[in-house]
A and B are shown apart, each in its own frame.
Chain A
Amino acid sequence: MSDRQILLLCLVPALLLLALTQFYPLAQSFYVSLHDWTLARSPVMGEFVGAQNYSRVLHDRQFTGALWFTLGLAAGSSILSVLLGFGLALLTVGENWKLRLSRTLLLLPMIIAPVAVGTVWRMMLAARIGPVNEALGALGLGTPNWLGSPGLAQVTLTVIDAWQWTPFSMIVMAAALASIPPDILAAARMDGAGRGLILRRIIVPITLPIILLVAMFRMVDALMTLDIVFTTTGGGPGFATHTLGYWIYVQGLRYFNISQAAAASWLLLALCMATAAAFLLWRRRIMSWQVRQ
């Protein structure tokens, strides 16, 4: 057997694992989504109801509310974290101890236990005794209720999500920057290109495929946001900060409405796939445009 064939065979375990742990359970949950099944009422699956669960979910005001909030959160958080991540990766590139230290500090949001992070954000933004409002109050800027008023809580959660995942974009971008051939940059500098020009004409075009990849990954990941809702607002006030992931969690594991949770998961899946497909198409267009240049 040739090396090539052995390498091709190496795909098999990966595909098997994915089939077993993702595609099979997904197919099963699709099957469940077409039936009537509330675990609280019956331990076995009920009758076939077609697309009824889907239409019921789509007509649920709480679900559509969660849908809009999730879209806003995903867009806001991915844009913020990609821009900040790229900027921070550029700023902290290099090998001296100051840069090492700042990189390490900047990575902490992603590394520290997410549970503790939620608790601390809550304490930090506490309406009356939190340090943020104390500072704002001292400056006479008012004391907003960051997690307590619906609209503001949505913005706050978006910022927390961006905060937590900016380090992710930062280190992937750092790797992309690291793989730019140094001689290209040296040559550009020899020709007298300034930093702005090098950034626009060399660094951004070369790293653009990776930037888009990071943006796509962040966007899809943010569409599935669940844990920060858990640790900060618990979905409130009211239903203001229910993300789709949280809504599904509540339906499935709190009300045991398994079939509707399955239908909603499939809607979320479709949303994620559509987002990813849009990004990949966009990326292909940009890259073929770059080749033509």
Chain B
Amino acid sequence: MAESTPMPARRFDPWPATIFVMLAVLAVLFLLPTAGVVLSSLKTTHDISMGDLWSLPATLYLGNFREALSNPSVHRYLLNTLLVTLPATTGSITLGVLAGYVFAKLPFRGSNALFLVLVAGMFFPPQAILVPLFRMFNAVGLIDTLWPVIVVHTALGIPICTLLMRNFFATVPNALREAAIMEGASEWQVLTRVVLPLSLPALAVLAVLQFTWIWNDFLWPLIFTKSDDKRTIMIGIVNLKGQYSVAWGVQGALSLVASLPTLAVFLFFQRYFIKGMTMGAVKG
């Protein structure tokens, strides 16, 4: 052993460098398209169609935002989107929490089969149900209102909400529930005071996801609404395209404005699904 060559003072370790390069490439790839949307919102449509999208703008041109925000239709679109997103998000999460709790903590005969039926709703391609749904809502005179959009989004959200909540509820030890019940707590109190607070991360994630999906959805409002004052913001963004051949700049500006509510929801809720980790976990 004594004659073996001494270890060099510093061995070359390629991993940190490789990981760094990979992360850098990844970060650029991740952020470049977003940067593109931001840049397009700050340039005139003329500049963009001349192929000058990717340079930094020399002056801060805010005309696109002015044009997007001064359009009264845009206010209507934003309001409509909110009127759809808020009830559908809260509705689907509430129903998902209740169903998830029943399946996780109060199983009954056949509850597993019922759970599978309920979760199966997640796997139905929208194309398969689109035409029959249109005819159904048409028959009751609800086409060109926001109601079918709200109802369908609430229903489509139930499977994922139930699935995720059941999984998170299942990780809460049964002993906690039994102890609470021994001390005289009702099932409701167990749910709202014991189990739910421990599942806040899941709840927060669902709030973000459901809000994002419903807010950004294009398909269902397109199918169920017709008149301009019932349209949602995503359709508004596409319609801009039609109105003035291709208004890239205004489209970019409106897309940014339209993503602000979702961003606000995320910023508000992220504290709940990060919290647990900071107490230990993979910290520094």
Number of interface residues of B (CB under 8 A): 99
Is there contact, CB below 8 Å, between B132 and A25? yes
Segment from A53-61, A234-242, A263-271 that makes contact with B: A263-271
Chain B residues, Cβ within 8 Å of A117:
33, 37
Is there contact, CB below 8 Å, between A272 and B125? yes
Is there contact, CB below 8 Å, between A100 and B270? yes
Residue of A nearest to B171 (CB): A179
Is there contact, CB below 8 Å, between B102 and A11? yes
- The A interface, classified by DSSP as helix, strand, loop or mixed, is helix
Query: Beyond A14-B95, A172-B205, is A22–B124 a contact (Cβ under 8 Å)?
Result: yes
A177 and B274 CA atoms in complex are apart in Å by: 8
Most buried by B among A20, A95, A168, A203: A95
Is there contact, CB below 8 Å, between A21 and B133? yes
Q: Does A174 contact B (CB under 8 A)?
A: yes
A43 and B155 CA atoms in complex are apart in Å by: 29
Is there contact, CB below 8 Å, between A248 and B99? no
Q: Does A3 contact B (CB under 8 A)?
A: yes
Q: Does A213 contact B (CB under 8 A)?
A: yes
Q: 1/0 per residue A86-130: CB within 8 Å of B?
A: 000011011100001001111111111111110111011000010
Q: Does B64 contact A (CB under 8 A)?
A: no
A210 and B164 CA atoms in complex are apart in Å by: 8
Is there contact, CB below 8 Å, between A123 and B136? no
Is there contact, CB below 8 Å, between B281 and A174? no
CB B75 to nearest CB in A, in angstroms, measures: 17
A7 and B111 CA atoms in complex are apart in Å by: 13
Q: Can you give 27 contacting A-B residue pairs, CB < 8 Å?
A: A7-B188, A10-B98, A11-B99, A14-B158, A18-B121, A20-B136, A21-B155, A24-B136, A26-B128, A26-B132, A93-B281, A95-B278, A107-B266, A108-B31, A108-B259, A113-B233, A123-B40, A174-B274, A177-B277, A182-B276, A189-B280, A217-B160, A227-B219, A249-B127, A272-B124, A272-B125, A276-B122
Show the binding face of A for B, using Cβ within 8 Å.
2-4, 7-8, 10-11, 13-15, 17-18, 20-22, 24-26, 28-29, 32, 84, 90-91, 93-95, 100, 103-117, 119-121, 123-124, 129, 131-132, 163, 166, 168, 171-172, 174-180, 182-183, 185-186, 189, 195, 198-199, 203, 209-210, 213, 217, 220, 223-224, 226-227, 244-245, 248-249, 252, 258, 261-262, 265-266, 268-269, 272-273, 276
Show the binding face of B for A, using Cβ within 8 Å.
23, 26, 29-34, 36-37, 40, 51, 53-54, 95-96, 98-99, 101-102, 106, 108, 114, 118, 120-133, 136, 151-152, 154-156, 158-160, 162-164, 167-168, 171, 186-188, 191, 198-199, 201-202, 204-205, 208-209, 212, 216, 218-219, 233-234, 237-238, 248, 251-252, 254-256, 258-259, 262-263, 266-267, 270, 272-284
